[in-house]
Each structure stands twice: as structure tokens, then as C-alpha cells.
Amino acid sequence: MTRRLRSLVSVTASLGAGAIALALALASLHSCAQPECVVPNYTDPECRVIVENELARLDAASGVEVRFVDPRGSDLDWDALGLVEEPAAGSVRARVASVGDFALRIRGDADEARTVDLELTNVDPRAVLRVGPVGDLDSGITLPQPGEPLLRRQLSVDVDAGAEVELRGELPCPERFTLAFVGDIQTNPTHFERILERIREDGEAAADAGAPLLGMVIVGDLTEWSNDEEFFKIRALLGNAPAPVAVTAGNHDIFRGAVAIYNSYFGPANYNFDVCGARVAMIDTASARLASSIEGRLGELVGRGDADLLIMATHYPPHWGLSGDGWSREDQPQLLLAELALAEADLIVAGHQHALRDSIIHVGGRDLRQIIVGTGGADQGLGVARFGYLRLRVDPSAGITPCFVEVPPPGWAGPANEPLASLPYCDT
């Protein structure tokens, strides 16, 4: 019973049953159910779920509809796997949120054929792009490969009146590959840029060794105050990253309740994707809790599916003993760990703590490995800062081999940090 309802019943109790019934009816006029997030507050994780789905679809001014869909197949008409914008009438920009394969569908104007000028961002230059009728891509065309190793493509797509076409990007898969993970950039994008440059150098060496860098994953706290200039700076840096970047939000990325600032720059924070035999599940814990709708879908989001390997990436570490400021609900990290144990997850990667940590969590007879890599540039207190990134060598048939690459600040002449007993520094 609401506070308003209790007050009305109290005031009218001496007036008889008829008056009480009238009071109940009047109270219900002001307390009827409303859809979630009618008055937006984007510090609420449920509001971010709603907006990340909305931003993955666009009704353009030209009359066409552009939306992300799951390249693995789905019953959903569209899915929160990217960000679609219209910077100017007739021009559409689509940022792919995932690493690996992706798909968009473009539905034409009902009355007139249209040409859509499309800019794709965060796309691997090695990806093969095909365009054709939905369900019959083989009858379509394969677009020429770009001449430069950039993460963006410019193309024009013709759509007949009332027709629908699909644009699919497919990444050729090596036998083994590399992924890079890092979190907690916050006040130090300058040093994060140094980490990006080291990842670029290491990626070139990895390609020569037959394990090319296929993607980066950032586990939140890209910014300190959720300001536009902070997000603009980070998005610009990531636009020139050495590989596509998957991102989820941290608590410092969601301070502005009136504006979905994280989502407007990067799109979804709750999604999963498959890359060459490995599934990566990105979960939004920026509010120190899960949205109710995400809690209800955890089995789907962190499930292994057909993948050989499963990695979950999030901001708040789900293990209660290593969760920093802590979750606002104790049951949710326990539920998350239980789902990960059921799925036999190979690795959990988190941030929030500005440190490097490696631990084994015992859950339901299974051992889950959790690595905290809040080393992207944020202040680490009075100790010697350990900046750098987590490198994963991934072989779907053999497993995941992690190591840490330290990127010290320039001019540092002091003693190097000792590696963790269970997590070595990378040799090359």
C-alpha cells in the first residue's frame, strides 16, 4: 500500500465503507502503473537498458529504417549490438559495438527507392562486407576491401521501395588470436593513449606470430565525471585503436541522470558477441546493481551457447570479497556467479579497483578465475602505479592464456612492479 493510499484510508476510516471505497478509487487515479523510465534517470540501469535498445535502431529522415540484428540469428526484430545515428539528413552513422561478425538491416521507404550513405565505425579492416536481400545474401554483392587499416568504412546502399536488405560483416578467423582487456581510464587519457600505442606495437608482433589482435575490451570508467569532453576524447582515441573495441560502462560513466551520456557515445553496455570460437559477455554493473530485465536474462547473456570459450567482462567484480565499494544488492553478484558457474565460464574480467588482481572463486563445485585489471590510467593511491593491459592468447581448441603487459609512465626509473604469482608478465 502506498503512503498516499494509507493516508487516505486513515483520514476516511470514520466515514464508513462507502467513503473508504471512494478514497481508494481516488488514490488509484494517482498511483496507476506506468512504463519503466517514463521520467528518465539514467543512473538507473533499467533506463539504460531501454535507451541502448532504442539507439540500436533508427528511422531516418529519408524514410528508411536502419537497425542492428544479431549475426548469429535471433527472433528479435533488432538487437542492442550497436549505435545508429543520423548526423545529417540522408547520412547514417553506425558504430558496431562488438568484435567479430556483425549485421545491419535496412528497410526501404514504402513508396520510393532510396540510396543510404552509410558510415560504419569500429569495424575490423579485415572484415568481409556483403550486401544483399535478407535471407539471400549469396545473391548480393561483396564490397571491396579497404586500402588502409582503418576502423571505418564509407559505403552507399541502394534499397528498392518497400524492400529490405542486410549488410553483414564477417571476420576471417585464425586458428588462434589475441584479445586485450583494460579498465579505469578516468583522469588519465594521456597515459591510456600510451597503452593504446603499446597494444598497437604488440598487435603487430602478435600478427607476425600467427595470433593477430582481433579486439580490445574496456571494462568501464572511461571518464571521471561523465562529461561530454571526456567521452569525446576517449571515443576519438578509440576511433584510431589498433583493433575494434567493445565497451561496457563503469560507475564514473553514468553520473548524469538526465542524459544517457555513455549510451549516446558507445551504444549498449549489456550484450554478448562471438569472436572466432570465443563468446564475450558484456554486463552493465555501473550502478553497482543489475537492471531487473538483465537479471532476468542472465542465463541467456552469460550462457556459453555454441562457443568453445566464455569470457565475461563487467565493471564491478562479482566476487563479494573483491568488489571495492560493493554492490547495492548482495543477491545479484551471487546470482551472476551462479550463472557463470553453470555456464562453466573460462574467465571473468572486471575493473573498479584501480589495481591488478587475480583470484580463484569457488562456486557450486566449480572454480571461476577472476582478473581485475583497473590499470588503464586511473589513480592507484600511494603505491607504485601498475599501468597496462591484460593480454589473452586465445586458442578455441586449447583455452585461454593470460598475461599482463605493464606500460610504466615516461621517465620512470624506479624498480619495476613484481608480477603476480599467478599472472606473469608477457614475454613479448
H helices of 41-173, where?
Answer: 45-54
Q: What was the pLDDT predicted at 353?
A: 92
Q: CB under 8 Å to 224, separation ≥6 — which residues?
A: 186, 187, 230, 252
Residue 21 to residue 26: CA distance in whole angstroms: 9
Q: What was the pLDDT predicted at 251?
A: 97
Please state the pTM of the whole predicted model: 0.90
Catalogue all structural domains in the chain, each as residue range(s) with its CATH number.
Answer: 45-170 (2.60.40), 177-406 (3.60.21.10)
Q: What was the pLDDT predicted at 11?
A: 36
Task: Give 30's strand partners.
Answer: none
- Give residue for cell 607504485: 384
Nearest to 426 by CA among 201, 100, 243, 190: 201
DSSP secondary structure letters along 253-273: G---TTS-HHHHHH--SSEEE
Q: What was the pLDDT predicted at 21?
A: 54
Residue 259 to residue 27: CA distance in whole angstroms: 32
- Give residue for cell 568488489: 323
Give the tens place of pLDDT for each residue, 71-98. Answer: 999 989 999 999 999 998 879 999 999 9
Q: What was the pLDDT predicted at 35?
A: 85
Residue 41 to residue 260: CA distance in whole angstroms: 8
Written as tens digits, the pLDDT of the chain (428 aa) is 333 333 333 333 334 555 545 544 545 555 567 788 999 999 999 999 999 999 999 999 989 999 999 999 998 999 999 999 999 887 999 999 999 999 999 999 999 999 999 999 999 999 999 999 998 888 889 999 898 899 999 999 999 999 999 999 999 999 999 999 999 999 999 999 999 999 999 999 999 999 999 999 999 999 999 999 999 999 999 999 999 999 999 999 999 999 999 999 999 999 999 999 999 999 999 999 999 999 999 999 999 999 999 999 999 999 866 544 589 998 999 999 999 999 999 999 999 999 999 999 999 899 999 999 999 999 998 778 899 999 999 999 999 999 999 999 988 877 778 999 999 999 87
Q: What was the pLDDT predicted at 33?
A: 74
Give the angle 128-130-136 at the CA atoms, nearest 5°. 135
